[in-house]
Structure 1
Amino acid sequence: MKGVSMSGWWCICITPVLLFQISGGASPEKWAADGKVLELDDSNFDSAISSFDHILVDFYAPWCGHCKRLSPQLDLAAPALAAMKEPIVIAKVNADKFTRLASKYDVDGYPTLKLFMNGIPIEYKGPRKADLLVCYLKKFVAPDVSILDSDSAVRSFVEEAGTYFPIFVGFGLNESVISNLAVQYKKKAWFSVAKDFSEDVMVRYDFDKVPALLVLHPSYNEQSIFYGPFEDQFLEDFIKQNLFPLAVPITYDTLKWLGDDERKIVLTIVEDEDEEKSKKLIKILKSAASANRDLVFGYVGVKQWDDFADTFGANKKTKLPKMVIWNRNEDYLTVVGSESIEEEDQASQISRFLEGYREGRTIKTNISGPSVLGFINSLVGIKLVFLMVFVVAVIMLIQTIKGDEEPLRIGTRDQAGQSSVSVPDGDSREHRSGEKED
């Protein structure tokens, strides 16, 4: 061995970023959490998975457009994840070539991301832009409840948590009070308790007594304070109701967040979310949301997501803003007399809309439009979509054999390929109704 003296002791140094694995009696396989994306195949997959506590694997196909767009994001995220105190490694597998691995891990669309934690896989459903992906994955190696012992610790925790998830900080609380809920909602929020803090912190976050539970939504510049009672049901209701901002911008990403929420969505459709008149309306929606916590208030612009808006009969010819009640099924409710919102006295009009809804003065309408199939598929799963396509193909074959004069008409691939099973990233509007379209 060059550069090593034969005299004296042999010394083998193993650092946290350098691991060795011997597989199948072959030469040692060297794996390093060095910030590079690993390329895995049948011969080395098990070796890599067993070498790291946390490894995110991208099952891709070379011809898949979404895979090609995801790849540079993973390249950007890999160094930041490898540099963490508890590193997370990113790897990729050509699932189109190594079909045994794809079948073993139930890969039914591309790209599919699986996070292996101590060898056990879970499907990654988080964002896919590099910075948001890093922030999302940090939660998997962070404590369920972080203990903060100073003002600077509080500040650092909030800064490092980033803007993707809501941040809960308990002041004057014992961690045992929120530990169970922190585990339950670990994938959706950051949790911490501050053991020691000054009055400056109380002034900064605008609370005047303890115990108190603060929730921050950095992306929306929102915060709320809960003073109790700190009993299980009251505490969980507060956490669940504050997992989202008061008024949620509807994207494919936020629709996935809302998937586990049982509340109905008060959906407001505007021409353009970025217009000043829309921003004023959104402020009013926030006020209404704070007084109606049993509902989720969302908004979407026709300019931002026209396919989704058209699903509810809203397009450039519709009188906007328009409000509906939607429970994520195949129909929605309009309120008689409140089909649209005029520009004057919008607060009163929204109050009348909510009053009409609660009194049952509603009309049920089926959702329609080119994006419907995509939304339904995102709920039922891509495997069922494949089954449906297979059934349609069989019917077409039978009709062809029978020589029917009128052929069966189905949608184009673009129409039928709207399904998705995959984060959100923050700019998910560009994906429209799904990631796994290939």
Structure 2
Amino acid sequence: MKTYSFLSRFKNSTVIMFKLLLLCTLAVASRAEIAEEEDVLVLKKSNFDEALQAHPNILVEFYAPWCGHCKALAPEYAKAAGILKAEGSELRLGKVDATEETELAQEFGVRGYPTIKFFKGGDKESPKEYSAGRQADDIVNWLKKRTGPSVATLNEVTEAEALIADNEVAVIGFFKDLESAGAKALEKAAEATDDVPFAMSSSDAVFAKFEVSKDSIVLFKKFDEGRNTFDGELTKKELLAFVKSNQLPLVIEFTEQTAPKIFGGDIKSHILMFLPKAASDFQGKMDQFKKAAEGFKGQILFIFIDSDIDDNQRILEFFGLKKEECPAIRLITLEDEMTKYKPESSDITAESITEFCKAFVEGKLKPHLMSQDIPEDWDKTPVKVLVGKNFEEVAFNPSKNVFVEFYAPWCGHCKQLAPIWEQLGEKYKDSADTIVAKMDSTANEIESVKVHSFPTLKFFPAGEENKVIDYNGERTLEGFTKFLESGGKEGGAPATDDDDEGETEVSLPEPMEL
């Protein structure tokens, strides 16, 4: 009996040990199943939690295979993953095909591609949105700042040289006392800056190498003048302004990679030069543009757009330009309201551009509003055709209820809506007090009506001067009819600048596809 009891206990403990061993083996096998592509972890709903346990600090890209912006990001994303892996860093990069892993995408509120989120310390509940550029260095620097000290300490000349060589822009504080007030101010500025690495040094050899004789802060960069020395008051605010004013080239080319820096920066006034790189006088005009930029550093961002590139054609359309009209200059402000300005002169000289920018800074320019000519048959079809030149006369007619679709010819959602909008026009074509209309907002602009997305639907009720109601209901014939019959009460809301029900943003195309 005792022997049986012993054997029984032995068998039971063996079974338990076997089960534990099996579970451990399965766990290891499961971890091994997290595949990698070019050092990037391939994540799915089935292995996502496990990945967070194995790699507590992980940056995850939610992408769509067909997304052009995702394809452009892929090589830099993989390069960043390789850099971190080669360093033996605990930081890892992962990716999720959001078109396949729809539940996972929905769980993290993915609405556009690519969406990039950082899961720190395995925290699945509140991931941080990635907010820096899309070059490998941008990604690596951003992650390191999120998990390590905001300012590195440089003890050797080789360390400083490597920092400068490995980054497009780097900031180094030269302080004899690393606990000084200036050093503390630098740390605060570094904590608030995602896309530039910061370091400091008290080494006499580092001071001598970079010809610094006293406490200083220097921004090193691989363009323009090469370096800038801070000469303001040593405060976080002043240092941030210094970095933001000098971290971008005097003239920056608009590309997939530079777009996040252009839109993510604090400078919201942008002057754009549309010019084909293949033009015989390209360098001459670029030199003039750059010369003008010197006087507006920190105030206006100077951006060059190659008008020959197919991907840039939508930007030209947005400004009402055609290839054959280039070279051309336009200015846009993204603060409060998006407003465009057009110079009176078509000359591209440093003097004319400087004069144009100076007038803008002084508030002396009037917005440039595009308008097509009024079509002869604009009111002959069930859906009336509005342009800038006849909009206010029709939309603000006190005896008419006017329902307007603001659309873009290239917008997929607008194309889907088109047949329903035509049906609505047909239904009300004989109405004495209701007009259904549409306006191409890529070619026509109205000062009193701001359109932030396509399609935007707005209702202008009769007898209520300048009142505008945004339509937020179902985009069906029944929904539209109910809205009109209720006088704009069913499915509508007072128009606000923040109300943005459209799917396609009306701005210079950022790296996102919805």
Q: Specify if TM > 0.5.
A: yes
Bigger relative CO (Cα 8 Å, ≥ 6 apart): 1
Distance between the aligned counterparts of 2:35 and 2:157, measured in 1? 33
What amino acid is the match of 2:367? K
Per the TM alignment, residue 392 of structure 1 is displaced from its structure 2 partner at its CA by 7.8
* Secondary structure in 2 matching 1:317: helix
Q: Where does the alignment leave 5 or more consecutive residues of structure 2 unmatched?
A: 1-22, 372-406, 413-440, 442-452, 458-470, 484-501
Indicate the residue corresponding to 1:326 in structure 2: 333
Distance between the aligned counterparts of 2:106 and 2:55, measured in 1? 22
Indicate the residue corresponding to 2:417 in structure 1: none
Q: In the alignment, is the contact (CA less than 8 A) between 1:247 and 1:296 conserved in 2?
A: yes
* Secondary structure in 2 matching 1:107: coil
Distance between the aligned counterparts of 2:361 and 2:74, measured in 1? 48
* Secondary structure in 1 matching 2:191: helix
Indicate the residue corresponding to 1:316 in structure 2: 323
Distance between the aligned counterparts of 1:211 and 1:312, measured in 2? 47
Indicate the residue corresponding to 2:185 in structure 1: 177
* Secondary structure in 2 matching 1:365: coil
Larger Rg: 2
* Alignment of structure 1 residues 203-352 onto 2, 5 Å: 203=211, 209-218=213-222, 222-273=226-277, 275=279, 277-292=281-296, 293-304=298-309, 305-318=312-325, 320-327=327-334, 329-335=337-343, 337=344, 339-342=345-348, 346-352=349-355
Indicate the residue corresponding to 1:51 in structure 2: 54
Deviations 1:345-367 (A, max 9, x none): x2322332233334444231247
Distance between the aligned counterparts of 1:385 and 1:272, measured in 2? 29
Distance between the aligned counterparts of 2:244 and 2:237, measured in 1? 10
Per the TM alignment, residue 144 of structure 1 is displaced from its structure 2 partner at its CA by 0.6
Indicate the residue corresponding to 1:92 in structure 2: 95
Matched, 1:201 2:209: yes
* Secondary structure in 2 matching 1:363: coil
* Secondary structure in 1 matching 2:475: helix
What amino acid is the match of 2:338? E
**Identity, % of aligned pairs?**
24
Q: In the alignment, is the contact (CA less than 8 A) between 2:330 and 2:341 conserved in 1?
A: no
Q: Which of 63, 73, 83 matches 1:80?
A: 83
Indicate the residue corresponding to 1:5 in structure 2: none
CA 1:325–1:97 in structure 2 vs 1: closer, same or farther (change >3 Å)? closer
Q: In the alignment, is the contact (CA less than 8 A) between 2:224 and 2:250 conserved in 1?
A: no
Q: In the alignment, is the contact (CA less than 8 A) between 2:171 and 2:217 conserved in 1?
A: yes
Q: In the alignment, is the contact (CA less than 8 A) between 1:269 and 1:314 conserved in 2?
A: no
* Secondary structure in 2 matching 1:437: coil
* Alignment of structure 1 residues 112-131 onto 2, 5 Å: 112-120=115-123, 121-128=127-134
Indicate the residue corresponding to 1:42 in structure 2: 45
Q: Which of 360, 365, 389 matches 1:362?
A: 365
Distance between the aligned counterparts of 1:245 and 1:77, measured in 2? 23
Q: In the alignment, is the contact (CA less than 8 A) between 1:177 and 1:230 conserved in 2?
A: yes
* Secondary structure in 1 matching 2:210: helix
What amino acid is the match of 1:256? P
* Alignment of structure 1 residues 85-164 onto 2, 5 Å: 85-120=88-123, 121-128=127-134, 133-134=139-140, 137-160=143-166, 162-163=167-168
Q: In the alignment, is the contact (CA less than 8 A) between 2:332 and 2:338 conserved in 1?
A: no
Distance between the aligned counterparts of 1:371 and 1:158, measured in 2? 46
What amino acid is the match of 2:156? S
Indicate the residue corresponding to 2:509 in structure 1: 433
Distance between the aligned counterparts of 1:334 and 1:155, measured in 2? 44
Distance between the aligned counterparts of 2:253 and 2:332, measured in 1? 15
CA 1:276–1:81 in structure 2 vs 1: closer, same or farther (change >3 Å)? farther
Q: In the alignment, is the contact (CA less than 8 A) between 1:330 and 1:366 conserved in 2?
A: no
What amino acid is the match of 1:144? S
Per the TM alignment, residue 79 of structure 1 is displaced from its structure 2 partner at its CA by 3.3
The count of aligned residue pairs is 372
CA 1:274–1:153 in structure 2 vs 1: closer, same or farther (change >3 Å)? farther
Q: In the alignment, is the contact (CA less than 8 A) between 2:189 and 2:240 conserved in 1?
A: yes
Q: Where does the alignment leave 5 or more consecutive residues of structure 1 unmatched?
A: 1-21, 377-383, 403-415, 422-431
Distance between the aligned counterparts of 1:191 and 1:33, measured in 2? 34
- Let me know the Cα RMSD of the aligned residues: 4.3
Deviations 1:93-129 (A, max 9, x none): 3444444322221122344332211123223345556
